[in-house]
Amino acid sequence: MKNFWLNATGKDEYDKRNKGVRPGECGHKKITFLFDSILEIMISYKKLGFVNTKKMLADAMKGHYAVPGYNFNNMEQLQAIVTACLETRSPVILQISKGAREYADQTLLRYMAQGALEMMKRLAKEKKLKPIPIALHLDHGANFEIAKDCIDSGFSSAMIDGSSLPYAENIKVTRKVVNYAHKRNVTVEGELGVLSGVEDDVRAEESHYTHPDQVVDFVKRTGVDSLAISIGTSHGVYKFKPGIKPHIRLDILKEIEKRIPGFPIVMHGSSSIPQEYVAMANKYGGDLEQAVGVPGDQLREAARSAVCKINIDSDGRLVMTGVIRKMLAEDKKIVDPRKYLGAAREALKQMYMKKNREVLGSAGQV
């Protein structure tokens, strides 16, 4: 008991919680409380069955494809992501944002992700497929405290987004997260440059491209495992106005790759905004503004270079919204959420499978 407690949280934490009472001097209820407290405070992602992103990103770099970083907020999104990636034989990074943690509850989301992983294992066995590697990742961690909380609760990867801070402050907070995470074998994603657009709490009026001259210094001083850069993508559903041809700055990407060869690069804001689902949502009562996203062929070209993780969120939101609006409009008497959520889940699954096969190149890599 004594060794277990001291090894897990350290003597200082023990003394603080128990005011000097040694394990042998406290009763059964106190001991049970201590065990419950420590399990709540520190949960290893390895025990949950997740992996960190180190190997999957290294494999993607060698294979010239990108691992999908798919965000989820509810059960249907999570089921669609995991089943799509299992059936296409793709590794996957399950991403949880600050907004998702607030909406669905941070504890519930963790156990949902763990349940999805166990579901994947069962389905893999039934279908005689090899289980796929799954990472649980904090998306756009705003500060050290949020990153620490996620790491302590079983996340295998965390992003610390200090891109809106002055350069020195970005390095400082990113290094702090790296120091904490690496002691627990958790991988860390940092960010240089600012993407325009709005998604949850991430807001910026205009883009600020990543400066290739800064990446070497940033990576060296922070010790991050991967780096999100700004080269022309944008957050949210309203990325680019119709008539504007989106253009990823592959020239900047190539310069960055020259500076830090073999280092994992991440692209955020990479949804393509499928026009059929924008039209579907508007046809059945929506009022979405017209916008276009990042072309799939440009994403695929980036994935053949140093980009080995691509984040996609808004496309999933559009698919769900379009399908649900259509079903509710066509059947005025529908009251069973399983019917319209189930249909949305299937449409999501097909969209993710298509992304893996045609855009990211991650299909068939497991």
pLDDT in tens, 178-235: 999 999 999 999 999 865 444 445 444 455 788 899 999 999 999 999 999 988 775 4
Cα angle 47-51-57, degrees, rounded to a multiple of 5: 170
pLDDT at 23 exceeding the cut of 70: no
Share of the chain above pLDDT 90, in %: 66
Helix runs in 127-166, H state only = 144-152
What is the edge-to-edge ordering of all strands in the sheet holding 196-199?
Answer: 202-204, 196-199, 234-235
**How confident is the model over 164-184, as pLDDT tens digits?**
899 999 999 999 999 999 999
pLDDT score recorded for residue 28: 53
The mean per-residue pLDDT over the stretch 266-290 comes to 90
What sign for the dihedral angle of Cα 258, 205, 273, 353? positive
For tokens 């769900």, the residue is 320
Tell me the sheet residues that pair with 70: 94, 312
Asked if residue 45 lies in contact with residue 136, where contact means CB atoms within 8 angstroms, the answer is: yes
Q: Which residue from 219, 212, 226, 297 is spatially nearest to 268, judged by alpha carbons?
A: 226
pLDDT at 5 exceeding the cut of 60: no
Asked if residue 167 lies in contact with residue 124, where contact means CB atoms within 8 angstroms, the answer is: no
Given the residues 12, 59, 105, 139, select the one marked as catalytic. 139
Q: Which of the residue ranges 50-54, 64-68, 176-180, 274-278 would you say has the lowest mean pLDDT?
A: 274-278
Whether 200 is catalytic:
no
CA distance 220 to 291: 38
Asked if residue 280 lies in contact with residue 330, where contact means CB atoms within 8 angstroms, the answer is: no
The mean per-residue pLDDT over the stretch 342-354 comes to 98
pLDDT score recorded for residue 322: 97
Contacts of 335 (CB under 8 A, 6+ apart): none
Beta strands 202-204 and 196-199, pairing class: antiparallel
Domains and CATH numbers, the chain: 2-41 (no CATH), 47-360 (3.20.20.70)
What is the separation of C-alpha 129 from the centre of its chain, rounded to a whole number of angstroms? 24
Task: Look up the pTM and report it.
Answer: 0.84
pLDDT at 17 exceeding the cut of 90: no
pLDDT score recorded for residue 249: 87
Q: At what angle do helices 250-259 and 296-303 cross, to 10 degrees?
A: 10
pLDDT at 252 exceeding the cut of 60: yes
CA distance 72 to 78: 6
Q: Which of the residue ranges 66-70, 94-98, 122-126, 231-235 would you say has the lowest mean pLDDT?
A: 231-235
**How confident is the model over 294-336, as pLDDT tens digits?**
888 889 999 998 899 999 999 999 999 999 999 999 999 999 9
